[in-house]
């Protein structure tokens, strides 16, 4: 959970926040003009705050407690890694509310496909788990989603994983990674804001790979759907509590390699594209209400049928979902309004054709 301090000012000033626990600088920010200000994305605890104006005047205040808050959902989405016959390390980004082509964000720590991604939502950290090149890896790396740049090492999974899926409970800061080739049942977790190795969480109801996942963010439920060979199963987990998954319901079609996203606390989860047991590409989009167990319902269709990884992302409660790439190698990005059923619309293009990649956002 992020924290903030608030105050007022009469001049443009540089505001420096010190953590009184160790007197390290936690924030160094210029605030403009006069009026109210807030310094966000702090950690919990007591602060000393110093403001220095451009004329050199300094004021200081001690023993100020930072308060928790829920950030506004972000609007930046990223698509990372993947394959088009050779492995990508590149990360593409989009502004979710504005249709357009993707732009370059940076690079993963290593090129790989069949990886999984999630984030701590408006707290702005994206994480990428595992993958393949030329064998399964246990890598976890991370980015700050609102700031373009290369990924940084986060830690390691308990074991190598690929063809798996990830979800989170948003600003509550826990990320899960579950399933894997060959037909792994394991779910692992991390604290997204604190780089470290993963910890065992529990098990899915059935061992499988090539599945996908989404969540209702701070409402704390994650769902895992589909997978090889070939499942219509949907599982759910309470993200803040370790334990095994429970049965949620079934998809309308048994398939794998589809994409998922949600409109966060508005509670609708979307499952799009993928392939059936004969490797036939699907254009079907279906949905569930994440907080209520039950079978999926038809939503509409993608603009084209795509399989082998069509990852999804959204801007959360702002209600837009996007699905990018897929096989045969495609750079297509589609979008939908998550709360309204209907067919997808063209959004723009990724920088390259790619499949078996992953996606996440800061919402």
Same-domain check for residues 185 and 321: yes
- Residue 1: predicted pLDDT: 59
Same-domain check for residues 83 and 115: yes
Peptide bond preceding 328: is omega within 30 degrees of 0, i.e. cis?
A: yes
- Residue 71: predicted pLDDT: 73
As for how many domains the chain has, the answer is 2
Query: 83 vs 106, 113, 263, 307, CA distance in Å?
Result: 16, 6, 28, 13
Q: Which residue has the tokens 């939908």?
A: 336
Same-domain check for residues 295 and 197: yes
Q: How far apart are CA 112 and CA 130, in angstroms?
A: 8
Environment class of 135 (CB within 10 Å of its CB; exposed 0-12, middle 13-18, buried 19+) = exposed
Query: Contact 209/255 with Cβ under 8 angstroms?
Result: no
Domain limit, last residue, from 42, 68, 94: 68
Same-domain check for residues 101 and 37: no
Same-domain check for residues 234 and 210: yes
Domain limit, last residue, from 41, 68, 95: 68
Q: Who contacts 194 (Cβ-Cβ below 8 Å, separation ≥6)?
A: none
Same-domain check for residues 106 and 252: yes
Same-domain check for residues 141 and 85: yes
How would DSSP label each residue in 194-229? S----EEEEE-SS--BS-EEEE-GGG-EEEEE--BT
Same-domain check for residues 163 and 37: no
Q: How far apart are CA 148 and CA 231, in angstroms?
A: 37
Residue 35: give the domain boundaries.
3-68
We report the CATH number of the domain holding residue 215 as: 2.120.10.80
Same-domain check for residues 205 and 147: yes
Same-domain check for residues 137 and 255: yes
Map residue 100 onto helix, strand or coil.
Answer: coil
We report the CATH number of the domain holding residue 20 as: 2.60.40.3110
Same-domain check for residues 62 and 90: no
Residue 125's CB is within 10 A of a number of other CB atoms, namely: 23
Domain limit, last residue, from 19, 50, 68: 68
Same-domain check for residues 37 and 127: no
Nearest to 347 by CA among 9, 97, 47, 65: 97
DSSP bridge pairs for 191: 174
- Residue 209: predicted pLDDT: 95
Nearest to 202 by CA among 236, 169, 168, 232: 236
| Per-residue pLDDT in tens (0 to 9) along the chain, 363 residues | 578 999 988 889 999 999 999 999 999 989 888 888 889 878 889 999 999 998 999 999 999 999 987 777 899 999 999 999 899 999 999 999 999 999 999 999 999 999 999 999 999 999 999 999 999 999 999 999 999 999 999 999 999 999 999 999 999 999 999 999 977 899 999 999 999 999 999 999 999 999 999 999 999 999 999 999 789 999 999 999 999 999 999 999 999 999 999 999 999 999 999 999 888 999 999 999 999 999 999 999 999 999 999 999 999 999 999 999 999 889 999 999 999 999 999 999 999 999 999 999 999
């Amino acid at each position: 959970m992020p924290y903030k301090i608030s105050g007022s000012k009469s001049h443009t000033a540089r505001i420096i926040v010190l953590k009184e626990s160790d007197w390290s600088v936690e924030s160094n920010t210029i605030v403009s003009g006069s009026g109210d200000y807030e310094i966000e994305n702090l950690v919990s605890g007591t602060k000393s705050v110093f403001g220095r104006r451009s004329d050199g005047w300094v004021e200081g205040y001690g023993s100020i407690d930072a308060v928790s808050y829920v950030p506004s959902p972000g609007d930046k989405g990223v698509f990372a890694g993947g394959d088009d016959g050779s492995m990508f390390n590149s990360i593409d980004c989009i502004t979710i509310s504005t249709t357009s082509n993707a732009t370059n964000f940076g690079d993963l720590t290593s090129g790989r496909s069949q990886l999984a991604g999630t984030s701590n939502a408006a707290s702005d950290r994206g994480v990428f788990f595992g993958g393949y090149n030329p064998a399964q890896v246990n890598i976890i790396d991370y980015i700050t989603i609102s700031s373009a740049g290369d990924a940084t090492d986060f830690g390691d999974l308990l074991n190598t994983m690929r063809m798996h899926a990830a979800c989170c409970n948003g600003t509550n800061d826990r990320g899960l990674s579950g399933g894997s080739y060959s037909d792994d049942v394991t779910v692992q977790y991390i604290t997204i804001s604190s780089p470290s190795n993963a910890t065992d969480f529990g098990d899915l109801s059935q061992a499988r790979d090539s599945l996908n996942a989404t969540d209702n963010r701070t409402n704390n439920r994650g769902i895992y759907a589909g997978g090889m060979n070939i499942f219509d199963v949907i599982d759910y987990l309470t993200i803040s509590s370790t334990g095994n998954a429970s049965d949620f319901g079934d998809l309308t079609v048994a398939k794998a390699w589809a994409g998922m996203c949600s409109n966060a606390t508005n509670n609708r989860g979307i499952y799009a594209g993928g392939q059936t047991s004969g490797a036939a590409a699907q254009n079907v989009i279906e949905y569930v209400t994440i907080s209520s167990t039950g079978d999926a319902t038809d939503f509409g269709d993608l603009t084209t049928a795509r399989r082998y990884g069509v990852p999804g992302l959204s801007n959360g409660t702002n209600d837009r979902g996007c699905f990018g790439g897929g096989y045969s190698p495609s750079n297509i990005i589609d979008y939908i309004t998550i709360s309204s059923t209907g067919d997808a619309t063209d959004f723009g293009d990724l920088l390259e054709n790619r499949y078996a990649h992953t996606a996440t956002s800061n919402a």
